[in-house]
Amino acid sequence: MPDAYILGMESSCDETAAAVVRSGEQIVSNVVFSQIATHQPYGGVVPELASREHLRAIVPVVRKALADAGQTYQSVDALAVTQGPGLAGALLVGISYAKALAFALNKPLVAVNHLEGHIHAVLLEERQKGNHEINFPLLALVVSGGHTHLYLGQQRQAGWTYRNIGHTRDDAAGEAFDKVAKLLGLGYPGGPIIDKLAAYGNPNAVNFPPSQIKHRDRRTKGEPVEAASQLRFDFSYSGIKTAVLRYVETHHMQAEIQTRRRALAQVVRPTLDDYLTHTDSQTLDLVASFQQAMVEDLVGKTLAAARASDVATLFVTGGVAANNQLRQTFEREAAMQGLPVYFPSRPLSTDNAAMIAAAAYPKFLAREFAAEDFSAEAGMALR
């Protein structure tokens, strides 16, 4: 099989990204243009602004990915683009551009599910390291700003199939990190900030009882207990966000938060020192305790799902997989179960297009190309 160079494009949320990947196993170039500065004043992603920024960035980002790879529009073998899930208007920018390019260049176009992309980020990097020995069945926790999903993954011939065995009932884990950071006047996106600040607080200072992060059982009374193959491992993170809010109110932290919000808004790109200067020890303790509760819940439920499904391998991927405490805890506890756990490198944990080009490769081999009339699917499921 000769090498295949796939140009991947990703525009599902607040990153405009393009990358060239060789045969699903070697990153040749990887360009990510982040819109954080655009959305920062609003404390979250503003969908219309995201679409406009994608429109501005997509052509130069793709050009740079080709130039960095020493490739041209003509020399790549295929194009790949994220079809969903994500913000509809944002997805449409990448899809329209990819369709026009594929048409003009007469190249095949592969439509990729963003969540499958996150899973393939792990595979891509393992292959790049020379590890072709991933054992099945495989369980993947995709944990990001929009998702907290557990998938059982199987490789069938060239392609992949997935079965969802758990998801969040309300907020995604990354969303909880972002909302708590916003609530505490720490800015956006919250995950990376909380990750850094948590190291300076006492994780046992505030107790978040499991009742604040549990969900109501889906079974109604009298229904039989689900068989092992049907067991579900759902998450819920809106309760812990409310618990943080209640803590802030009962401990009268609002004035301090306002002062911090104003002070940090004056700084263009706040450094860790800037955050530490403006964050009191009570807030550091709260942040550390929040992160610990999140990590314990994510790790506990995922490892319970891994045991129940008797999987051979665990993948943890998506933006929140960049979290230091989450990685360390998964590594320690999975090792105790004798379960190999793999993460993407930090740059490949958050949104990028290398993962889209990698996920497209098996579809390219199977000649599963996008239909001419395919469109964005904001709520696209992974199967």
Helix (H, G, I), strand (E, B) or coil at 153: strand
Q: Is residue 320 at the binding interface for ligand KG4, with CB under 6 A as the rule? A: yes
Q: Which is nearer to ligand KG4, 256 or 351 (CB)?
A: 351
Q: Is residue 25 at the binding interface for ligand KG4, with CB under 6 A as the rule? A: no
Question: Nearest distance from residue 182's CB to ligand KG4, in Å?
Answer: 10
Q: Is residue 144 at the binding interface for Zn ion, with CB under 5 A as the rule? A: yes
Question: Nearest distance from residue 317's CB to ligand KG4, in Å?
Answer: 8
Render 326-372 in DSSP notation, one character per residue. Answer: HHHHHHHHHHHTT--EE---HHHHSS-SHHHHHHHHHHHHTT-PPPT
User: Among 43, 84, 89, 146, which residue interacts with ligand KG4 (rule: CB under 6 A)?
Assistant: 146
Q: Is residue 137 at the binding interface for ligand KG4, with CB under 6 A as the rule? A: no
Q: Of 24-32, 98-106, 187-195, 268-276, which part binds ligand KG4 (CB under 6 A)?
A: 187-195
CA 202/CA 287 separation, integer angstroms? 9
Q: Is residue 153 at the binding interface for ligand KG4, with CB under 6 A as the rule? A: no
Q: Of 125-133, 141-149, 196-204, 336-344, which part binds Zn ion (CB under 5 A)?
A: 141-149
Q: Helix crossing, 190-198 with 324-336: angle to 10°? A: 70
User: Closest Cα to residue 320, out of 201, 149, 166?
Assistant: 149
How many other C-beta atoms are found inside a 10 Å radius of the C-beta of residue 254?
11
Q: Which is nearer to ligand KG4, 145 or 239 (CB)?
A: 145
User: Closest Cα to residue 141, out of 378, 306, 350?
Assistant: 306
Q: Is residue 178 at the binding interface for Zn ion, with CB under 5 A as the rule? A: no
Q: Is residue 178 at the binding interface for ligand KG4, with CB under 6 A as the rule? A: yes
CA 176/CA 172 separation, integer angstroms? 6
Q: Is residue 14 at the binding interface for Zn ion, with CB under 5 A as the rule? A: no
> Which two structure tokens, joined as six digits, stand for 53?
């920024």
Render 206-244 in DSSP notation, one character per residue. Answer: S---GGGG----SSPTTPPPPPGGG----B--HHHHHHH
Binding site for ligand KG4 (CB under 6 A): 13, 144-146, 174, 177-178, 189-192, 195, 318-320, 322-323, 350-351
Binding site for Zn ion (CB under 5 A): 144, 351
